[in-house]
């Protein structure tokens, strides 16, 4: 959410930013919110004047009563009563206007970083760099569920009977590989100085609206019926929510956390053949990283975060590339975002396995996450998040890139301690 004062003083910048994100239908909101804000401030000013007047008249009434001028005092009391009725009316009006202003401000997108390429959708994202050699073996690489089935590692039919489409049973060595990747990612991030955390897997609505846009909320979140609780779509939500309505000492920053959680998503819409299996599912597990820092440090942390994901995938011998997300592909709260994509030997192309985002002070402003400086000044923190690893998609990349000609799955050195020393998964 933007600073209202910034919108008031820079409407043209805000409108151009909306155009850059190809959301022209939101342009009228800028003038609307400025007008509503003006009305709210006018109501507040009149209310403040009435409060000052009431205080002054109350003193006059006391003086008149002391002088025995009861009739004049009663006239003043009548004036106070009239003012009280108007003050109540103004207070209600001010509350109504402020609520409407906040509602609109929650929809106006954040100002994107000047370095973000202008483009309409993800087809116009820009490749930055490739890491590792994307190889295509001289043998056929089956679809990932077929690879898993060779090891009795997945049961989609049973999951369909139990929970419906978008769920799965992982079994045996494939299930162990899934857990090994999570454990390795946890220790990898701890080794990079992050504090490990297991957060709540449900959050209240005020946290949901604090960390994401209404459109994202509707498309992603599962609501717990009869309660003010939502299942998290990513642990970033509850991790950033941990700091809601807090004032952090500047010297305590940055706060760097890495978290494990299951994730639950609606995943609305139809998906192509490459999104069957475990690519798009309603339930999965993930290791995440978040940073809460001073504004001047967020750009540096942004580069550190996406590099962590690149380094982890490369440590498991998986080629990856980084993509700069264009303006039209950025969610409304994001200032800048980079996707990490892994190489698929079967498809002979890259696919997304993680996303790193700098949200500036948008989440902090919504959740009231402030920093107290050395001189006592207070300002909003910056928040960032990035996927360390989400095993369902990671498993696809891992299985395809480590599949051997004899059908076995090679286990890279870094992962062997988490697989009981196994150097490969073989058919039994």
pLDDT given at position 73: 65
Quickly list DSSP for 265-306: ----S---GGGTTTTS-SEEEEEEEEEEE-GGGHHHHHHHHH
Q: Which of 86-100, 114-128, 192-206 has the lowest mean pLDDT?
A: 86-100
Do residues 178 and 75 share a domain?
no
Do residues 154 and 253 share a domain?
yes
Task: In whole angstroms, give the CA distance from residue 115 to residue 299.
Answer: 11
Name the domain count of the chain. 2
Nearest to 295 by CA among 368, 362, 360, 247: 360
Task: In whole angstroms, give the CA distance from residue 274 to residue 227.
Answer: 36
SS3 29: helix
Residues 26-43 have pLDDT tens digits of 999 999 999 999 999 999
Cis peptide before 113 (omega within 30 of 0): no
What is the sign, positive or negative, of the torsion defined by CA atoms of 74, 75, 79, 85? positive
- pLDDT above 70 covers a percentage of the chain that reads 96
Residue that wins the pLDDT comparison between 195 and 280:
195
Averaged pLDDT, 101-123: 96
Do residues 101 and 126 share a domain?
no
Do residues 58 and 178 share a domain?
no
Q: Is there a contact between 264 and 231 (Cβ–Cβ < 8 Å)?
A: yes
Do residues 293 and 217 share a domain?
yes
Task: In whole angstroms, give the CA distance from residue 347 to residue 343.
Answer: 9
CATH number at residue 62: 1.10.287.40
pLDDT given at position 165: 87
Return mean pLDDT, the chain. 92
In a domain, 384, yes or no: yes
Nearest to 300 by CA among 248, 251, 364, 256: 256
Task: In whole angstroms, give the CA distance from residue 15 to residue 391.
Answer: 40
Averaged pLDDT, 322-333: 97
What single DSSP character describes residue 118?
Answer: P
Do residues 23 and 97 share a domain?
yes
pLDDT given at position 273: 44
Residue with tokens 């409304």: 332
Q: How confident is the model at residue 74 (pLDDT cuts 50, 70, 90)?
A: low
pLDDT given at position 269: 47
In a domain, 176, yes or no: yes
pLDDT given at position 275: 56
CA distances from 132 to 150, 314, 338 (A): 28, 7, 18
Q: How confident is the model at residue 276 (pLDDT cuts 50, 70, 90)?
A: low
pLDDT reading at 356 higher than 50: yes
In a domain, 370, yes or no: yes
pLDDT given at position 69: 72
Q: Which of 236-240, 362-366, 390-394 has the lowest mean pLDDT?
A: 390-394
CATH number at residue 127: 3.30.930.10
Residues 227-263 have pLDDT tens digits of 999 999 999 999 999 999 999 999 999 999 999 999 9
Residues 172-196 have pLDDT tens digits of 999 999 999 999 999 999 999 999 9
Which tokens in the block code for residue 389?
């690893």
Do residues 57 and 132 share a domain?
no
pLDDT given at position 390: 93
Do residues 216 and 315 share a domain?
yes
In a domain, 115, yes or no: no
Do residues 291 and 334 share a domain?
yes
Averaged pLDDT, 133-152: 95
In a domain, 113, yes or no: no
Do residues 143 and 32 share a domain?
no
Domain range for 203 is 122-425
Task: In whole angstroms, give the CA distance from residue 234 to residue 236.
Answer: 5
pLDDT given at position 387: 95
Q: Which residues contact 244 (CB under 8 A, 6 or more apart)?
A: 206, 207, 210, 367, 368, 369
In a domain, 325, yes or no: yes
Residue that wins the pLDDT comparison between 55 and 339:
339
Q: How confident is the model at residue 270 (pLDDT cuts 50, 70, 90)?
A: very low
Task: In whole angstroms, give the CA distance from residue 17 to residue 108.
Answer: 10
* pTM for this prediction: 0.89
Do residues 401 and 260 share a domain?
yes
In a domain, 116, yes or no: no
What is the sign, positive or negative, of the torsion defined by CA atoms of 37, 38, 39, 44? positive
């Amino acid at each position: 959410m933007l600073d209202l004062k910034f919108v008031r003083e820079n409407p043209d910048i805000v409108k151009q930013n909306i155009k850059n994100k190809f959301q022209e239908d939101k342009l009228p909101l800028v003038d609307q919110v400025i007008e509503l804000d003006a009305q709210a401030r006018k109501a507040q000013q009149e209310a403040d004047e009435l409060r000052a007047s009431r205080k002054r008249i109350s003193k006059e009434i006391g003086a008149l009563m002391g002088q025995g001028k009861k009739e004049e005092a009663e006239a003043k009391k009548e004036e106070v009563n009239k003012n009280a009725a108007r003050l109540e009316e103004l207070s209600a009006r001010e509350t109504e206007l402020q609520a409407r202003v906040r509602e609109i401000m929650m929809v106006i997108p954040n100002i994107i970083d000047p370095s973000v390429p202008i483009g309409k959708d993800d087809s116009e994202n820009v490749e930055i760099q490739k890491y590792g050699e994307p190889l295509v073996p001289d043998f056929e690489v089956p679809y990932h569920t077929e690879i898993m089935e060779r090891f009795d590692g997945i049961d989609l039919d049973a999951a369909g009977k139990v929970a419906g489409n978008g769920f799965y049973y992982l079994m045996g060595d494939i299930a162990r590989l899934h857990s090994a990747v999570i454990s390795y990612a946890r220790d990898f991030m701890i080794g990079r100085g992050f504090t490990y955390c297991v957060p709540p897997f449900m959050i209240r609505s005020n946290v949901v609206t604090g960390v994401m846009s209404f459109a994202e909320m509707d498309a992603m979140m599962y609501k717990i019926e009869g309660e003010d609780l939502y299942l998290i779509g990513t642990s970033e939500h509850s991790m950033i929510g941990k700091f809601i309505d807090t004032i952090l000492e500047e010297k305590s920053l940055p706060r760097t956390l890495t978290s494990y959680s299951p994730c639950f998503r609606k995943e609305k819409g139809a998906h192509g053949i490459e999104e069957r299996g475990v690519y798009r599912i309603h339930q999965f597990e993930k290791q995440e990283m978040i940073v809460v820092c001073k504004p001047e440090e967020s750009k540096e942390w942004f580069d550190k975060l996406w590099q962590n994901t690149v380094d982890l995938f490369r440590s498991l011998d998986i080629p990856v590339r980084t993509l700069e997300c264009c303006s039209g592909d950025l969610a409304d709260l994001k200032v800048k975002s980079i996707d990490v994509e892994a190489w698929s030997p079967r498809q002979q192309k890259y696919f997304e396995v993680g996303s790193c985002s700098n949200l500036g002070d948008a989440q902090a402003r919504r959740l009231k996450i402030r920093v107290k400086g050395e001189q006592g000044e207070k300002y909003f923190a910056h928040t960032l998040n990035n996927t360390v690893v989400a095993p369902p998609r990671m498993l696809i990349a891992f299985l395809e890139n480590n599949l051997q000609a004899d059908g076995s799955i090679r286990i890279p050195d870094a992962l062997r301690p988490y697989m009981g020393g196994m150097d490969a998964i073989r058919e039994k």
